[in-house]
Amino acid sequence: MKQWILRENLPESVSAELKDFSDFERKFLFYRGVAKAEEAAVFLNPNYEKGLHDPFKILNMEKAVARILNAMKNKEKIVVFGDYDADGVCSTAIFTEFLKKAEYENYHVHIPDRNFDGYSLNNAAIEEFKKLGAKLIITFDCGITDKAEVAMANSLGIDVIITDHHLVVPEVLPDAFTIINSKQEEDKYPYKFLCGAGVAFKLVRALIIRGEEKKLFTIAHGWEKWLLDIVAIATVADMAPLTGENRVLVRYGLMVLAKTKRPGLKSFYKKFRVDQKNITESDISFTIAPRINVASRIDHATISFDLLTADSPDDADRLADKLDSLNKERKRITGKVVDSILEKFEGVSEFNILACGDESWHPGVLGLAANKLMEKYNKPIFLWGSGNSAEFKGSCRSDGSVNLVELMSSLAKGVLLDFGGHHLAGGFSLKKEKTEEFKKELENAYSKAIKQDTNNGTLLIDSEWDIDKIDWDFYSKLEKLSPFGVENPNPVFGFYDLEIGGVKEFGSGGGHLNISFRKKNGEYVSAISFFKNGIPDDVADSLFVGQKINLAATIEKNTFFSKPELRLRVIDVKLKQ
């Protein structure tokens, strides 16, 4: 059971500094690390022109742009090589759309097969690119650890430009023509947390500036803003921090999503009942991103790429149907993996890392399964399977206690065939005979790693609140703090001594729960728990009308029905004693 902790009161010095903002704004700004009036104004009013940094401040951007423009001028074959997840697919789509707009035709798009090719560049693909006559490979959302593969490309006379955002491991940095990744130690770019699509967008902006100067093409001023819809999708899907430049990209990206002309996204809106005019980051997280990600997990990522770049509404509808079908299959397969692990580890709580695999497990769903298990056990999770591969491919998730890339980097040489990722999420591959050694190495590395406090046993309550204060005027103030996500969480409100006015299960098999509460004016406010998350099993089965509870919840706008409504999203429930 989590301990609820009410956040500290606003210091008088901060209250005075933020005197021109409302009490509500001052409090929540402070909780997000904003304590200066100038910072607060920027946070509440993101500005596209002022909020985005000069792309040429990124290390090696000028060099990369010069090489790409030279390739375009000389009509060289360019390979656009993107990762297979939502960020990689969106990054690839962004750059491809630029090439189309510049009327450049001599390019080849390649997105690897997650289950057969593995992560990032591979030698077989590079050999094929040579046969195609490629002179330049540009990677998107991958490549930062591809030392051997880049060396092979170099030997074949192919230049490689790496654009990536994953953590840099200096000792395995490839000898590429140049690297664009603001996480490089010598990079002085003011913002370090762009996702792959954010980096691709900055590259496109820089190419348009220099390309126009050289009169290589003519692109209407501001055209690149139409790319922000898929920049926003990738940024939210990749769980990048929604601070600084990312906050600007996603805020404006949501505006573009509300006006997007992409047949693929319009098909998504129609099929999954997304209110285009009122689209939110939650629609990206729970409806759009999972279906874009699912293609590579179960089939091939080109399905999602084709959807994002489709010109025909008929093609878009067909691809949306395909992705929906794959998503349903993904849920079924993921459920089987999670159930088998829960059965195996039932009653077991004394372990530092949960690491296990099975020959039959589909590698494409293991990231999702690992995430579910990490949320249950609050431990780092490593899972692997083979599908049809000759080696094990795995995914890992961290509860925040350790940096996964640093952890895998510290393993004995030869234990893993390759690995990559972020602080909280990663992927790896290993030989099938190395699994026991891998488990031992993980435990040993974890015991030596510097641990971070995850506060998994506590829940921070931003403010105590009254159910009668939930109205549209209040929501308009709350909305100014959005978009919500990593490092800008949706405020959690504590509602105390609430009397339940109704309890109703809904969804397939009654898997979700709707708890309603009556306001003084006679209106009802619903609190929704999908899959009964945030409600302990013994509590979910014992709720009844008239019962008093304490509720921790966020507040959201529901546009699923014809008339928008405000509702609560359950975070935790405690029965009144």
- The per-residue DSSP string of 168-181 comes to P-GGG----SEEE-
Question: Which strands sit side by side in the sheet containing 381-385, from one edge to the other?
Answer: 354-358, 381-385, 392-397, 425-430, 418-421
The residues, ordered by sequence, that sit 6+ positions from 225 with a Cβ below 8 Å of its Cβ are: 48, 252, 256
∠ CA 250-254-257 to the nearest 5 degrees? 130
Q: What backbone torsions phi and psi does residue 64 show, to the nearest 5 degrees?
A: -65, -45
Q: Is 121 exposed, middle or buried (0-12, 13-18, 19+ CB in 10 A)?
A: buried
As a 3-state breakdown, the chain gives helix, strand, coil percent values, each rounded to 5, of 45, 20, 35
One-letter amino acid for residue 348 of the chain? V
Rounded Cα distance between 80 and 464, Å, is 51
Distance between CA 113 and CA 84 in Å, rounded?
Answer: 7
* Phi, psi angles (nearest 5°) of residue 17: -65, -35
Residues 168 and 405: their CA atoms lie apart, in Å, by 9
Sheet order of strands, 159-163 included: 107-110, 77-82, 134-140, 159-163, 178-180
Rounded to whole angstroms, what are the CA distances from 61 to 103, 178, 236?
A: 22, 9, 24
Q: What is the per-residue pLDDT for 510? A: 77
Contact 413, 442 (CB under 8 A): no
3-class state of residue 462 by DSSP: coil
Distance CA 324, CA 331 (A): 11
CB-based contacts of 571, cutoff 8 Å, min separation 6: 459, 492, 534, 552, 553, 554
How many whole angstroms separate alpha carbon 351 and alpha carbon 344?
13
Within 10 angstroms of residue 294's Cβ, the number of other Cβ atoms is: 27
The predicted pLDDT at position 10 comes to 92
| Residue showing tokens 């399964």 | 369
Cβ atoms 501, 524 nearer than 8 A: yes
Alpha carbon separation from 214 to 67, 96, 493 (Å, rounded): 13, 20, 55
The reported pLDDT for the residue numbered 16 is: 96
Q: How far apart, in whole angstroms, are the C-alpha atoms of residue 497 and residue 150?
A: 62
CB 194 within 8 A of CB 240: yes
3-state secondary structure of 500: strand
**Residue in 381, 388, 376 with CA at minimum distance from that of residue 426:** 381
Distance of CA 360 to the CA centre of its chain: 27
The pLDDT of residue 348 is 61
Which residue reads 């509870």 in tokens? Answer: 549
| Residues 180, 218 contacting (CB under 8 angstroms) | no
Please name the residues in contact with 328: beta carbons below 8 A apart, sequence gap of 6 or more. none
What averages of pLDDT result for each successive group of 10 residues across the chain (577 residues)? 90 95 92 94 95 98 98 98 97 98 98 85 96 98 95 98 91 94 96 97 98 95 97 96 97 98 96 92 94 94 98 97 95 93 76 90 92 88 84 92 92 90 87 94 91 77 95 93 94 96 87 94 94 81 93 91 87 88
The token pair that represents 166 in the structure block: 């994953």
Instruction: Write down the pTM of the prediction.
Output: 0.90
Q: What was the pLDDT predicted at 92?
A: 98
Listed in sequence order, the DSSP H helices in 378-536 are 404-409, 435-448, 472-479
476 vs 448: CA distance, rounded Å: 48
Facing residues of 356 across strands?
383
Alpha helices in 214-274 (DSSP H): 228-237, 244-257, 263-271
DSSP 286: I
Structure tokens at 328: 């349903």
Q: Going by C-beta distance under 8 Å and a sequence separation of 6 or more, which residues neighbour residue 130?
A: 156, 157, 158
